[in-house]
């Protein structure tokens, strides 16, 4: 009965708390050092004053802290709190009628109108006396004294009104609010806080087996020799495709031929053989100790090794015989291989997530991650997660994060948007995107607006890749250096997380397997490639410079701060990013064969500063400075010289 009576006296209503994902079912995402801004609609009947706070609790803490919410406009309130460590923070909103503040506001109006009565001060004295009973020791005696003073008839009315309206009294009463009838938001919400690399990273993918001399099978030692060059280009994540034993049965040959030759190494994604499965290493690459040495060597360059985890098996994987129920069997008793019609992957068996033995399957798969975490790996690129159970991923990622909150998961899910978003909600830190297939200024503006201005910005972190071992987009098949430079710049500056399938991109590999195909000719997925003989590659210096610019400019270390600028030429894409006093303007000529010129609407005022033209911008690629004197400014981009400008706004 008591609860219902109290609930009936709660006059404040809290609605539309933001950010909130699916009614609190899933967390929003931030990184260490962020401040989480909270908004809510908070209303009550009548004219009383409302007080509100956001209550929040850090990972592992039992106690709640509170930060005030302030009225912004039209019953919309806003506040914030810092997130300073990895893990789950909890937060919610509380609000109540502040009777003392309401009385104080009314007393001010009456005093201004010269209609204050003794009864008005008596009401305030009672409120202050109640506050004294709730106050901590440092304020209690002062509030008790003030309650007496407010009704002391020996003092003038004006004197007592002055005491009542002192800011010091309001501050003490604010520290002892009457929250008996406070309303609380119906959900306790969560924010998952990652380490900073979750927001800002540059990935370089390479195949260890192609890091040797000529066509000799490369080793982890060869990768270690390559680390310096990758670090010099400015990458901080070295991503390796699967490093496990490769099956022999149904092994694919060069260019995905159905029959492999005696020297064909097979696809690294056909995982498992006589040497072991997902916890084993391909013998030709080296030993576990050598792999651990590689991980440690990468750290000396301030890089991390990311591993590809692909939950699928070759016909020779130990699980096929040890756990046959983990696979789908056809009517003839054979195991169903993977298909993506018209493609057939006879060398790969997908796992069956509807198996009755699903609990053991889940535990084993989680154990794969735990094993490689023990070897020092804290970043994983996960192959085709959208073809595995969504509840499985939520269980696995949350379980891993309980003990290893710094682990980063990248979802390689080229699938429908809602599937991609659901994986992000399940816990994936970053995700591949449709960037590769957004190839006009209009398409990119629309796509970035979707990612950065809607709800996805709260939980979905895009990672832009201009190419992958599976994807050689038609634009790159032109072989034009301007195309490669433009697409690289777009990936590295539109998103704060990006990656390239390294050797193929920096060496400008452009030949498709056949007309209309997005597969590489002589794909490294099926054969060892000799990259060493092609170095130095044409784009290494350009890539290094772009990564240097990213590292030196905070504005490029975020994704959601993007702002597009109007141009009078539909082949030019211009956008800016600002962080504090650092503002970057990027302009790209997306006609990779012809000079394009035009006017862009850009000025300090356009990005939130008070200054007006003239102003100075400096091109960070050419290091030339320009004084712009108008709100619209002229650009000319010759792809034979450079298809991009990256300007920094110079400010005194």
Is-contact 634 597, C-beta < 8 A?
yes
15 as an active site residue: the answer is no
Residue with tokens 């004053």: 49
Give the Cβ contact number of residue 125 at 10 Å: 19
Give the Cβ contact number of residue 259 at 10 Å: 9
- Retrieve residue 647's tokens: 């300007």
Residues 466, 468, 473, 476: what is their CA dihedral angle, to the nearest 10 degrees? 60
Helix-, strand-, coil-residue percentages of the chain, each rounded to 5: 35, 25, 40
* d(C-alpha 520, C-alpha 250), whole Å: 21
Of these residues, 383, 475, 509, 519, which one is catalytic? 383
* d(C-alpha 66, C-alpha 59), whole Å: 15
Sequence-ordered list of residues with C-beta below 8 angstroms from that of 601, at least 6 positions apart, any chain: 565, 566, 567, 631, 632
* d(C-alpha 50, C-alpha 102), whole Å: 8
Is-contact 592 482, C-beta < 8 A?
yes
Strand partners, 63: none
* d(C-alpha 500, C-alpha 505), whole Å: 7
* Cα-based distances in Å from 40 to 46, 53, 350, 403: 19, 10, 45, 33
Give the Cβ contact number of residue 633 at 10 Å: 22
CA angle 411, 412, 417 (to 5 degrees): 80
Of these residues, 194, 236, 364, 412, which one is catalytic? 412
593 as an active site residue: the answer is no
* Residues present in the chain in total: 652
HEC states along 341-383?
CCEEECCCEECCCCCCCHHHHHHHHHHHHHHHHHCCCCEEEEE
Give the active site residues: 383, 412
């Amino acid at each position: 009965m008591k609860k219902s009576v109290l609930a009936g006296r709660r006059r404040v209503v809290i609605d539309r708390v933001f950010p909130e994902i699916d009614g609190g079912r899933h967390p929003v995402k931030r990184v260490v050092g962020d401040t989480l801004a909270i908004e809510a609609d908070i209303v009550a009947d009548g004219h009383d004053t409302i007080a509100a706070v956001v209550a929040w609790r850090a990972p592992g803490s039992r106690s709640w802290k509170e930060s005030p919410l302030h009225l912004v406009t039209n019953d919309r309130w806003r506040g914030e709190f810092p997130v300073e460590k990895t893990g789950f923070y909890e937060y919610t909103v509380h609000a109540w009628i502040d009777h003392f503040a309401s009385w104080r506001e009314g007393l001010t109006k009456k005093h201004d109108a010269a209609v204050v009565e003794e009864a008005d001060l008596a009401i305030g004295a009672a409120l202050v006396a109640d506050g004294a009973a709730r106050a901590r020791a440092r304020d209690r005696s002062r509030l008790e004294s003030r309650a007496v003073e407010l009704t002391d008839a020996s003092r003038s009315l004006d004197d007592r009104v002055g005491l009542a309206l002192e800011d010091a009294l309001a501050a003490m009463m604010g520290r002892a609010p009457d929250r008996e009838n406070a309303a609380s938001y119906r959900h306790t919400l969560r924010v998952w806080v990652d380490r900073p690399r979750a927001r800002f990273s540059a990935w370089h993918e390479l195949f260890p087996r192609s890091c040797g001399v000529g066509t000799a099978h490369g080793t982890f030692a060869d990768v270690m020799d390559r680390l310096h060059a990758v670090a010099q280009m400015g990458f901080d994540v070295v991503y390796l495709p699967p490093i496990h034993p490769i099956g022999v049965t149904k092994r694919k040959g060069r260019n995905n031929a159905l029959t492999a030759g005696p020297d064909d190494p097979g696809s690294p994604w056909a995982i498992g053989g006589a040497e072991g499965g997902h916890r084993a290493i391909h013998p030709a690459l080296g030993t576990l100790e050598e792999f651990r040495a590689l991980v440690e060597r990468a750290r000396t360059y301030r890089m991390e090794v990311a591993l590809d985890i692909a939950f699928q098996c070759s016909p020779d994987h130990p699980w096929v015989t040890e756990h046959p129920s983990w696979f789908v069997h056809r009517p003839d008793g054979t195991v169903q291989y993977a298909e993506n019609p018209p493609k057939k992957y006879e060398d790969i068996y997908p796992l069956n997530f509807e198996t009755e033995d699903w609990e053991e399957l889940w535990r084993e798969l989680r154990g794969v991650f735990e094993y490689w975490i023990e070897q020092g790996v804290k970043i994983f690129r996960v192959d085709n997660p959208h073809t595995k159970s969504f509840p499985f991923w939520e269980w696995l990622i949350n379980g891993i994060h309980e003990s290893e909150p710094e682990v980063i998961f990248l979802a390689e899910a080229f699938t429908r948007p809602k599937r991609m978003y659901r994986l992000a909600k399940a816990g994936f830190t970053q995700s591949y995107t449709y960037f590769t297939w957004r190839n006009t200024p209009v398409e990119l503006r629309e796509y970035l607006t979707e990612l950065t201005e809607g709800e996805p910005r709260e939980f979905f972190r895009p990672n832009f890749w201009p190419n992958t071992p599976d994807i050689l987009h038609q634009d790159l098949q032109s072989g034009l250096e301007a195309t490669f430079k433009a697409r690289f710049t777009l990936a590295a500056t539109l998103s704060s997380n990006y990656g390239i399938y390294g050797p193929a991109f920096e060496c400008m590999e452009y030949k498709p397997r056949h007309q209309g195909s997005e597969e590489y000719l002589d794909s490294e997925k099926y054969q060892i490639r000799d990259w060493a003989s092609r170095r130095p590659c044409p784009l290494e210096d350009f890539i290094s410079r772009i990564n240097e610019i990213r590292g030196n400019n905070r504005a490029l270390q975020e994704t959601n701060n993007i702002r597009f600028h109007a141009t009078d030429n539909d082949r030019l894409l211009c956008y800016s990013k600002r962080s504090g006093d650092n503002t970057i303007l990027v302009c790209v000529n997306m006609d990779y064969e012809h000079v394009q010129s035009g006017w862009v609407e850009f000025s300090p005022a356009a990005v939130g500063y008070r200054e007006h033209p003239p102003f100075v911008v400096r091109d960070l690629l050419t290091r030339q400075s320009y004084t712009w004197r108008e709100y619209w400014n002229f650009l000319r981009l010759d792809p034979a010289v450079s298809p991009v400008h990256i300007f920094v706004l110079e400010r005194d």
